[in-house]
């Protein structure tokens, strides 16, 4: 039963379990043409903090997650083209949220112009692999940690 309905998410109660229902999400471990990791820094009101994260976004109805990932990466950073593979899939907080996140890895990306949504403000930050290896533990977003840690193990 739906007990609250917003624009970003909805709340249902099923068999006594309160569940926050949200579109599925994607995130991208993106490497530019120089092999640098491309991250985005943005203010997150829910965390009351500015977080450095993988480029990410929500899957539109009927959209394949890989298409979402390519669209969001291009909108947020301008990066496009490149070689893509699926890296991981997981629930972000399955105790009460139905959000499933698919993380892709993309490398050898070409530069382009970002195309941010109205009101979207973010700073693009690029880290070398050595910086990621040294500083991954400083990051504070679960999806970003999973994506980068799995990527580092994969090669």
Interface of this chain with its own copies, residues 50 to 69, rule: CB under 8 A? 51, 53, 56
Contact present, 29 and 103 (Cβ < 8 Å): yes
**Dist CA 35 CA 132 (whole Å):** 12
Shortest Cβ distance from residue 137 to its own copies (Å)?
7
Question: CB-based burial of residue 96 (10 Å sphere; 0-12 exposed, 13-18 middle, 19+ buried)?
Answer: exposed
Shortest Cβ distance from residue 154 to its own copies (Å)?
9
3 vs 108 by CB, closer to its own copies: 3
Cα Rg for the chain, rounded, in angstroms? 16
124 vs 150 by CB, closer to its own copies: 150
Interface of this chain with its own copies, residues 24 to 53, rule: CB under 8 A? 25, 44-49, 51, 53
83 vs 93 by CB, closer to its own copies: 93
Binding mask 112-141 for its own copies (x = CB under 8 A): -------------------------x-xxx
Q: Which tokens is 75 given?
A: 């909108």
Contact present, 26 and 32 (Cβ < 8 Å): no
Q: What angle do CA 112, 79, 102 make, to 5 degrees?
A: 155
Give one DSSP letter per residue of 42-72, joined into a string.
EEETTTTEEEEE--EEEPPTT--HHHHHHHH
Based on the residue annotation, tell me whether 14 is a catalytic residue of this protein. no
- Under rule CB under 8 A, residue 85 binds its own copies: no
> Could you give the residue numbers annotated as active site?
118
Binding residues for its own copies, per CB under 8 A? 3-4, 6-9, 11, 13-15, 17-20, 22, 25, 44-49, 51, 53, 56, 88-101, 137, 139-143, 145-146, 149-150, 152-153
């Amino acid at each position: 039963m739906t007990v609250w309905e917003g624009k970003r998410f909805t709340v249902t109660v099923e068999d006594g379990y309160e569940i926050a229902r949200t579109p599925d999400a994607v995130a991208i471990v993106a490497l530019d043409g120089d092999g640098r990791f491309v991250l985005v820094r943005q203010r997150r009101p829910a965390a009351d903090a500015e977080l450095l994260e993988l480029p990410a976004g929500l899957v539109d109805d009927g959209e394949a997650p890989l298409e979402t990932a390519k669209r969001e990466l291009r909108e947020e950073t301008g990066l496009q083209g490149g070689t893509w593979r699926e890296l991981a899939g997981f629930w972000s907080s399955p105790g009460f949220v139905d959000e499933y996140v698919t993380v892709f890895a993309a490398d050898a990306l070409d530069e382009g112009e970002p195309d941010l949504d109205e009101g979207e403000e973010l700073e693009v930050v690029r880290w070398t692999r050595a910086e990621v290896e040294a500083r991954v533990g400083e990051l504070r977003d679960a999806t970003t940690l999973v994506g980068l840690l799995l990527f580092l193990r994969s090669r």
